[in-house]
Chain A
Amino acid sequence: MATVAEHGEHHESSPPKGWLRWVTTTNHKDIGTLYLTFALIMFFVGGAMALVIRAELYKPGLQLVDPHFFNQMVTLHALIMVFGAVMPAFAGFANWMIPPMIGAPDMALPRLNNWSFWLLPFAALLLSSTLFMDGGAVAAGWTLYPPLVLQTGNALPFTIFSVHLLGLSSILASINIIVTIFNLRAPGMTMMKMPMFCWTWLITAFLLIMVMPVLAGAVTMLLTDKYFQTSFFNPAGGGDPVLFQHLFWFFGHPEVYIIILPAFGIISHVIPTFARKPLFGKNSMVYATAVIGFLSFIVWSHHQYTVGMPVPAELYFMYSTMLIAVPTGVKVFNWLATMWKGSLTFETPMLNALGFLILFVIGGFTGIMMSQVPADLYYHDNYFIVAHFHYTLVGGGVFAIFAGIYYWLPKWTGIMYDERLGKLHFWLSFLGFNVLFFPQHFLGLAGMPRRIPDYALQFTEFNQISTVGAFIFGFAQLLLVYVVYQAIRGVGERVNSEVWEGAKSHGLEWNLPSPMPYHHSFEGIDIQKAIACE
């Protein structure tokens, strides 16, 4: 292995051959590719689980699976999508793009980088293997609430260990990103000059290193409750089941911003490029991101309005939650102002960015509605919340990932992807997504609880529409795989270094050749001149 690594380091321009390249690599571009590939695979695994859920919900009555297995699907779908698909995808973008955006040759801690990625496949394997254990996988929802989660069979310790591994991987990746941004910026790349994607990731990385240990601690307490006779969450032993919910959501609420902040970053790059205008209010965008990051720590109990909190506590969490609408509004208004009087074109990245904007704003509206305790006493734990968080995390997170992939894919491969198929992928995804999730608002308002495999007859129509949408959305993703695969194979037109018209003024990375050289991205490039041009 050592010889292969040396081999790679000594041949400046081309990577070593064979599978060991991927195991031993310390190259940020390789690791970015690994993260994105892993995320794509997990996206399909988690997506397949979602299709099992939607297929069972096509009709009232049970047709396909046992309720216990249904609950396992609900749990694993969420864990895999959050920890396996969306977070690693953004880590992949961070690896690929942060060094070229700040004028760095690589990430600051390349070996740690390798290690933080390679924890993931093992964690995912461990998590998936629990499906085949005695008693099945965890079936208590991704929130892992005790006492229910303590009824899990042999899967519990393995699930907890895999959560530890996933958390460890995130923490290591975050440390790497923070160190890279603080230490490897090229001279002249001041903090306030730094691109939005780096800023959003910097704040995300701080959120991660603050909340991941809390989750690790909380799930370890579950482990000791189950196997070592402690009573942290067991009322019979003087414990408190609600304590777990506070710990979980102290992690869980920042977690949703961990998913959405890098998405904001990507959108803040795509919209200016295709509006041919600089990002409006860059400084206030940075401050708004920081404020969102801070607020994310003080709002967690809005996930628990029905646990029987005292009224003053409910009021506090309601007011603090509502405040988040202000910096989030600033971001949306700034994106709109960036488009205003621009010169817009609608290539696939821009379509996905606009899709993001529409869906995320709708998710934001339902978020404001749910921040209100009186109304949330109705919405809580019904399909309204399911629609809400899929609008923000899929409509927001995943559509931003699509935007980022189409935006930077030509830079990574040197090949322009198939624009026609890319657009088709967007339209099918956008249509499928809305057919899938919009009816779920109605289901929730009509009173359908979430996480049920079977339902009363009046919920049939919208569930059927939703299931049709799920299959459209799911199968549309095969197009994404095909488009990306063709670009990687080199099928398509070669692109120049700028790729998109006028992109050079929108980031350092567009000064580099497409594809970027394997090592030393900036060799032969005058970074100072490039920074000054922006």
Chain B
Amino acid sequence: MSLHLIRLLLAVVLSLQALAAQADYRLNIPVGPTETSRAIYDFHMYAIWVCVAIGIVVFGVMFYSIIHFRKSKHPVPAGFHENTVLEIVWTVIPVLILVGLAVPATKALIRIEDTSGAEMTIKVTAYQWKWHYEYPEEGIQFFSSLDEASDRARQLGSDLAPEKVANYLLEVDHPLVVPINKRIRFLITSADVIHAWWVPAFGWKKDAIPGYVNAGWVTIEKPGIYRGQCTELCGRDHAYMPIVVKAVTEEEYKSWVAQWKQRQETLEE
């Protein structure tokens, strides 16, 4: 029976690999352009390998028993049912493994949650179902909502297929533009229900809660466009409030700020 199982699992794995040749999905956490993202990725891989090692022992013993202690091969069962030394051993070893996980986790967490020393601040306010971004130092603010093409394609019975839309559900009308190599603090809150602000490439997420101002930080090292989504169920259009962060060089950022200021002034007049 176990052989059948292994064959089945192999078949599934092989079919997945066949799929892999033609699709652009990913299997693992992305390594993003920030220190936090790398720390989370490293820790995640470390935890996976620890689990794989334990898994090899546990499943090894299990399948060894299934194969060698089946009744046809091992007709007379042993009678033992106690061994204090063994019980102490398999209580103490897991404790040591856990300590081995807890130490790096604690170190990583303290760095991730340290939001001090920010060079600029962006205030993020969540609404049902869009994001509002404010740059208090620059006096810029705007809403960021799902782009028109995605919005058309996502309707029930839409004539526009999602496959035809570039970055379906991951595109907004006004992306958040930030400079690279600057320590940015995000202050995150909500105007109605609880949402969560998450860009997978940055690693962390934070809930946007009415009455709370939560903080998170990034220092983005590479220019690029980083996409994410709301990650806390926030009502009917929870799936339709994406986050797009455009990281640009300092000069590009400055000219973008100037443009937005001009635009805001024209709108005010």
**Which of B106, B113, B211 is the one whose CB lies under 8 Å from A240?**
B211
- Note all chain B residues with C-beta closer than 8 A to A450: 231, 233
Bound Cα distance from A323 to B155, whole angstroms: 47
Say yes or no: is A61 at the interface (Cβ < 8 Å to chain B): yes
Tell me whether B59 and A358 are in contact (CB under 8 A).
yes
- Known contacts A311-B109, A381-B232; A375/B40 CB under 8 A: yes
Tell me whether B28 and A380 are in contact (CB under 8 A).
no
- Known contacts A343-B69, A358-B59, A365-B51; A241/B238 CB under 8 A: no
Q: A275-B77, A375-B43 are in contact. List 14 more A-B contacts (CB 8 A).
A: A62-B158, A71-B236, A277-B78, A280-B80, A340-B69, A341-B78, A346-B66, A368-B50, A372-B43, A372-B101, A381-B232, A427-B4, A434-B12, A447-B30
- Note all chain B residues with C-beta closer than 8 A to A378: 29, 40, 44, 200, 203-205
| B117 → A minimal CB distance (Å) | 16
Say yes or no: is B27 at the interface (Cβ < 8 Å to chain A): yes
18 intermolecular pairs with C-beta atoms under 8 Å apart: A61-B153, A241-B194, A275-B69, A307-B207, A307-B209, A308-B214, A326-B95, A343-B74, A345-B71, A361-B59, A365-B54, A377-B40, A377-B204, A378-B29, A381-B231, A447-B228, A452-B239, A456-B170
Tell me whether B12 and A435 are in contact (CB under 8 A).
yes
| A228 → B minimal CB distance (Å) | 20
Tell me whether B77 and A369 are in contact (CB under 8 A).
no
Say yes or no: is B110 at the interface (Cβ < 8 Å to chain A): yes
Contact code string B148-191 (vs A, CB < 8 Å = 1, else 0):
00000111111001110001111000000000000000000000
- Note all chain A residues with C-beta closer than 8 A to B43: 372, 374-375
| A177 → B minimal CB distance (Å) | 27
Tell me whether A369 and B48 are in contact (CB under 8 A).
yes
Bound Cα distance from A334 to B83, whole angstroms: 10
Among all A-B residue pairs, the 9 with the closest Cβ atoms: A235-B211, A447-B200, A452-B239, A308-B214, A341-B78, A365-B51, A343-B77, A148-B193, A278-B81
Say yes or no: is A455 at the interface (Cβ < 8 Å to chain B): yes
Bound Cα distance from A169 to B98, whole angstroms: 38
Bound Cα distance from A242 to B213, whole angstroms: 12
| A305 → B minimal CB distance (Å) | 9
Q: Looking across the interface, which residue of chain B has its beta carbon closest to that of A364?
A: B51
Bound Cα distance from A242 to B209, whole angstroms: 8
Kindly name the residue among A333, A362, A374, A439 whose own CB sees the greatest number of chain B CB atoms within 10 A: A374
Contact code string A325-354 (vs B, CB < 8 Å = 1, else 0):
110011011101111111111100001001
Bound Cα distance from A239 to B112, whole angstroms: 29
Tell me whether A330 and B91 are in contact (CB under 8 A).
yes
Say yes or no: is A139 at the interface (Cβ < 8 Å to chain B): yes
Bound Cα distance from A65 to B155, whole angstroms: 10
Say yes or no: is A431 at the interface (Cβ < 8 Å to chain B): yes
- Note all chain A residues with C-beta closer than 8 A to B70: 343-346
**Which of B25, B27, B90 is the one whose CB lies under 8 Å from A459?**
B25
**Which of B61, B87, B101, B235 is the one whose CB lies under 8 Å from A368?**
B101
Tell me whether A381 and B105 are in contact (CB under 8 A).
no
Interface residue total, chain A, C-beta cutoff 8 A: 106
**Which of B27, B161, B212, B215 is the one whose CB lies under 8 Å from A61?**
B161
Within 37-77 of B, Cβ neighbours of A (below 8 Å) are at 39-40, 43-44, 47-48, 50-51, 54-55, 58-59, 61-62, 65-66, 69-71, 74-77
Within 448-486 of A, Cβ neighbours of B (below 8 Å) are at 449-462, 465
- Note all chain B residues with C-beta closer than 8 A to A503: none
Tell me whether B47 and A67 are in contact (CB under 8 A).
no
- Note all chain A residues with C-beta closer than 8 A to B118: none
- Note all chain A residues with C-beta closer than 8 A to B157: 62
Bound Cα distance from A49 to B170, whole angstroms: 27
| A330 → B minimal CB distance (Å) | 6
Tell me whether A445 and B27 are in contact (CB under 8 A).
yes
Say yes or no: is B230 at the interface (Cβ < 8 Å to chain A): yes
Say yes or no: is A279 at the interface (Cβ < 8 Å to chain B): yes
Within 134-171 of A, Cβ neighbours of B (below 8 Å) are at 139-141, 145, 147-148, 151
Contact code string B202-228 (vs A, CB < 8 Å = 1, else 0):
011111011110110000000000001
Q: Looking across the interface, which residue of chain A has its beta carbon closest to that of B204?
A: A377
**Which of B8, B25, B30, B109 is the one whose CB lies under 8 Å from A373?**
B109
Tell me whether B65 and A339 are in contact (CB under 8 A).
yes
- Binding stretch for chain B, among A16-24, A181-189, A313-321: A313-321
- Known contacts A318-B102, A345-B70; A445/B12 CB under 8 A: no
- Note all chain A residues with C-beta closer than 8 A to B215: 308
- Known contacts A308-B214, A369-B48; A326/B26 CB under 8 A: no
Within 253-308 of A, Cβ neighbours of B (below 8 Å) are at 275-282, 284, 306-308
Say yes or no: is A205 at the interface (Cβ < 8 Å to chain B): no
Within 84-119 of B, Cβ neighbours of A (below 8 Å) are at 86-87, 90-91, 94-95, 98, 101-102, 105-106, 108-110, 112-113
